[in-house]
Structure 1
Amino acid sequence: MIPDCRLTAFVLFVSNIERSKRFYQNLLGLEIEMDLGVNVGFRNGLALWQKDFALNVIHGKQTPPVKGNDIEIYFETGSIEDAWETVCSQGVEVVHELREQPWGQRVFRVYDPDRFIVEFGEPMPAVILRMHREGMTEEEIAKKTTMPAEIMHQILVA
């Protein structure tokens, strides 16, 4: 069993992020927690990714969607290395190994039995604290992670 694991978001890969964002805001009244342009997170746990960006981040190239690889369920774990070892020991089909995303978060992805993508990632507060311990300044961390400065500062002073 993967230690310290919690469902954080259900992610939809969408063809037009602005149109989808308006739909979920205006029709359902969902409140945006964070808007990074190609990635939008709502307070209820739903997240949207611009499809072409998401598939490129995950697969490393422009990848046409096929059954299952355009929906992702996202979990966070404070023990990303242990989670990776657990998945490897269970013979789960891997989308990609543990790696660092462009924004500094370490993640890996696997397929569930129906080929839906299941992502496991470090919580962003842990990423920010790790970068700070490694000597990065607040400005460097904010630029790398694209996290709003006020949220990043709250994490560092906590």
Structure 2
Amino acid sequence: MKYGGTLLIVDDMEKAKYFYETILEQKVLMDLGEHVSLENGLSLQANYEEMIGKSLNRKTEANNFQLYFETDQIDDWERKLEAIEGVDFIHHPTEYPWGQRSMRFYDFDKYIIEAAESMECVIRRFLSQGLAVEEVSKRTMYPVEFVEMLV
């Protein structure tokens, strides 16, 4: 068996498509109306219960999983998202002990989205601040060999 991607059940396809395509800048691979596939392996599905022929007890804001995106411009993305009505932040950019900055917010269907700096970005930032390769490795928990590739 091969993993094929993640499907989000959405209430309003146009709003969901706007969020992922326009706001998060994800490219649509195929738009079939009630089903939209994005290039990143994520799919959106409207009228899911009708499609499967069964009524489900869906929970809004279930908070039991998240979608993870990476950006090296987290502050720019925070400003962009703050300006959009309907984007509710769980938390604004926070730096974790390993140095990565991350923020979490809800999409319009209340799925958790995490946007975080790539670890390559974190490592380069530490190196540019003058930390030695070994210090960067220890702080980020990445192998010295990986850090050295980014020098």
TM interval, shorter chain, is 0.5 to 0.7
Does 2:101 correspond to 1:106? Answer: yes
- In 2: Cα distance, 1:67 partner to 1:115 partner: 5
Structure 2: give runs of 5+ residues left out of the alignment.
1-21, 27-40, 42-59
Question: For 1:121, which of 107, 116, 124 is the aligned residue?
Answer: 116
The DSSP-based 3-state class of the residue aligned with 1:139 is helix
- Name the structure 2 match of 1:35: none
Per the normalisation by structure 2, the TM-score is 0.57
SS of residue matched to 1:113: coil
CA distance in 2, matches of 1:131, 1:88: 27
User: Which residue type is aligned with residue 115 of structure 1?
Assistant: K
CA offsets per residue over residues 25-49 of structure 1, 9 Å max, x none? xxxxxxxxxxxxxxxxxxxx9xxxx
Regions of 4+ moved over 3 Å? none
Higher relative contact order (CA 8 A, sep 6+): 1
CA distance in 2, matches of 1:134, 1:2: 32
Q: Which has the larger radius of gyration?
A: 2
* Residue 148 of structure 1 pairs with residue 147 of structure 2: no
- Report how far residue 67 of structure 1 moved: 5.0
Match of 2:81 among 82, 87, 91: 87
Gaps of 5+ in 1: 7-44, 46-65
- The structure-2 alpha-carbon separation of the partners of 1:2 and 1:113, relative to structure 1 and needing over 3 Å to count, comes to closer
Change (3 A) 1:109 1:99: same
Which letter does structure 1 place at the counterpart of 2:125? R
Aligned residues: 98
Matched, 1:68 2:43: no
Q: Which amino acid aligns with 1:105?
A: Q
Distance 1:2 1:111 in 2: 13
The offset of 1:143, in angstroms, is: 1.0
Find the residue that maps to 2:98 and give its secondary structure. Answer: coil
Separation in 2, partners of 1:138, 1:155: 10
For the aligned residues, what is the CA RMSD?
2.5
Residues 61-102 of structure 1 show CA distances to partners (whole Å, capped at 9, x for unaligned) of xxxxx9532211111112111100011111311011111112
